[in-house]
Amino acid sequence: MAMTGVLRPGHAQLRVLDLEVSRKFYRDVVGLVETGTDAQGRVYFKGCDERDHNSILLRQADSAGVDFVGYKVLDRASLDDLERGVREFGIKTERIAAGEMLETGERVRFQLPTGHLFELYAEKKHVGNGLGQVNPRPWGPSFEHGMAPTRFDHCLLYGPNIAANKKLFTEVLGFYLVERVIGPKEAGEPEIAIFLSCSHKTHDIAFVEHPEPGKLHHVSLRMPSWERVLRAGDIMGMNNVPIDIGPTRHGVTRGETIYAWDPSGNRFETFCGGYEPYPDGEPLTWTFDEFGHGLDYPTGKLHESFLGIVT
């Protein structure tokens, strides 16, 4: 498919309670590649197969959660066009100067109806994946360090008015709805969860209806195979990383997964699999009474911690 407009998830800035503990965790246990520290003290990481300078940022804070998420667009013309569309939608935008984040160009930031800060940008320094641009090797040392996720895959965000988010993302930002979860019949079957893609992945971002704005459910890190998800689970066990769910398979997206907690209580996911949707496909619907299988297909269990704990 032609890739235009918004291309992919680009970065997420997480709040952590102890920066040095979190730096070691994401570098040595998760196995992200550390790429720098800026004047604000933020620590930068990327996945082993990501070419851009950064995708996960850590900031020392008094509470866990997410400050903002950013998505890369095709070029500066696309950035200008998308900003214009967001403003016409009725949402204010601001420009953040190039260099405010290490090796990252100018960003357009705005607040989603769910209360999350969302960014678009067109430029980030290409640092490569350590395998070379000519006659590259299939893998290198960073692909074997820790859990070694290949990239930042998606995030699931909780907040109010996901219907307005859906309208913004599908009508302005060029995403399309892949799957949805509808609520109980007695409530009129509202959409309580939506899974949106700007590519041919099952989701590049997802939202769940929640009364509190701006909440993080999880940041997802892509693994190249189910075997590597299971290896990540071994590493979690060896390092006493608390696990929320898994290893298991979702019914929603068909993804294979483990959810676990970082030292600050932020949930992260090691994820692989899923089918390959295209924009002309019909969205899949999960009813509330079957969502247990949507979440954890083998058991059909609605895990209380998964549904209720956010940062």
What b/e sequence results for 18-43 when a residue is b if at least 16 CB atoms lie within 10 Å of its CB, and e otherwise? ebeebbebbbebbbbbbbbebeeebb
- Selected catalytic residue, list 53, 154, 210, 293: 154
- 218 a catalytic residue: yes
Q: Is the peptide bond prior to 247 cis by the omega test (within 30 degrees of 0)?
A: yes
- Selected catalytic residue, list 26, 218, 256, 293: 218
- 269 a catalytic residue: yes
- 116 a catalytic residue: no
Identity of the residue numbered 264:
S
- Selected catalytic residue, list 53, 116, 250, 293: 250
- 303 a catalytic residue: no
- 210 a catalytic residue: no
- 250 a catalytic residue: yes
Instruction: Give the C-alpha separation, 108 to 172, whole Å.
Output: 14
Q: Which two tokens stand for residue 56?
A: 């996960």
- Selected catalytic residue, list 26, 44, 71, 259: 259
- Selected catalytic residue, list 53, 203, 210, 217: 203
- Selected catalytic residue, list 103, 119, 256, 269: 269
Catalytic residues: 154, 203, 218, 250, 259, 269
